Structure formats: structure tokens, C-alpha cells
């Protein structure tokens, strides 16, 4: 099956700085890559996703890039705010999306 690796496992940034989280995947058939934010005590929530036919997608302060050749994708958060502090998960899926493979998570702390 698919194997998704995520780095770093923890990340601390000063408020206003940018944060980057990187993921790699192993199966070239994967074609959908969502990112989830998990706040303490809650379930993961989709924040942005990208399809394999797109190289980059932005939504306000959040962007995701995808390099199909290298099989990696990244989450970029600009102008970080304390409320961005959470655990972030990348994931990959293929085909009709019945199975999702998650990274191991990145705990982001934004220091005021």
C-alpha cells in the first residue's frame, strides 16, 4: 500500500513568520492530497487539498504545492498566528478515494 512520510514532527515559529510542512508519498497512482488541521480535543478538519493535475493551490494564508515527479507535497502557512497552533496531517488517496493514507503529523506552535 501507500506510504506517506511527514516532516518535521514538531515545528515552532514566531508569530508572523512562515511555516512549511513537507510530505512524501510512495505510490505514483495517488492523485489526491488533502491537508488536515487537528486542534486539541477535536477531530481533524480539512484545510486545503490538491489534485494531481494541479501544481499549486492557495487559500488566503495557506498554500499547497505538489511535485509529482519527486512524489512530494508541502503545506505553506504565511503570516502565522497563534490560532494556527495545532497538529497538521497530510494524506494521500487514489482511485475512487476509498482508502486514505496519513502522515504521522506535525505539531505546529506559533509563539506570540
Residues that bind other proteins (rule: CB under 8 A) add up to a total of 31
> Strand ranges (DSSP E) for the chain?
4-7, 10-14, 19-25, 30-38, 45-51, 56-59, 62-67, 72-77, 86-94, 100-102, 106-111
Q: Please identify, among the stretches 11-19, 53-61, 73-81, 101-109, the one whose residues bind other proteins according to the rule CB under 8 A.
A: 101-109
Nearer to other proteins, 82 or 95 (CB): 95
Q: Backbone phi, then psi, for 82, in 5-degree steps?
A: -55, -35
Nearer to other proteins, 31 or 65 (CB): 31
Residue ranges in 11-40 that form contacts with other proteins under rule CB under 8 A: 31-32, 34, 36
Asked whether position 100 contacts other proteins by CB under 8 A, the answer is yes
- For other proteins, which residue of 16, 29, 51, 59 counts as binding (CB under 8 A)? 51
Asked whether position 7 contacts other proteins by CB under 8 A, the answer is no
- For other proteins, which residue of 11, 22, 49, 62 counts as binding (CB under 8 A)? 49
Written as nine digits, the cell of 63 is 498554500
Written as nine digits, the cell of 88 is 497538521
Cis peptide before 8 (omega within 30 of 0): yes
Amino acid at each position: 500500500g501507500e506510504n506517506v512520510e511527514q516532516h518535521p514532527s514538531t515545528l515552532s515559529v514566531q508569530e508572523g513568520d512562515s511555516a512549511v510542512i513537507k510530505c512524501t508519498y510512495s505510490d505514483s497512482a495517488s492523485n489526491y492530497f488533502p491537508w488536515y488541521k487537528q486542534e486539541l480535543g477535536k477531530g481533524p478538519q480539512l484545510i486545503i487539498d490538491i489534485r494531481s493535475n494541479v501544481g499549486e493551490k492557495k487559500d488566503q494564508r495557506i498554500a499547497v504545492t505538489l511535485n509529482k515527479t519527486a512524489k512530494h507535497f508541502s503545506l505553506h502557512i504565511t503570516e502565522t498566528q497563534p490560532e494556527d497552533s495545532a497538529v497538521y496531517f497530510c494524506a494521500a488517496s487514489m482511485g475512487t478515494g476509498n482508502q486514505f493514507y496519513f502522515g504521522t503529523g506535525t505539531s505546529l506552535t506559533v509563539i506570540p
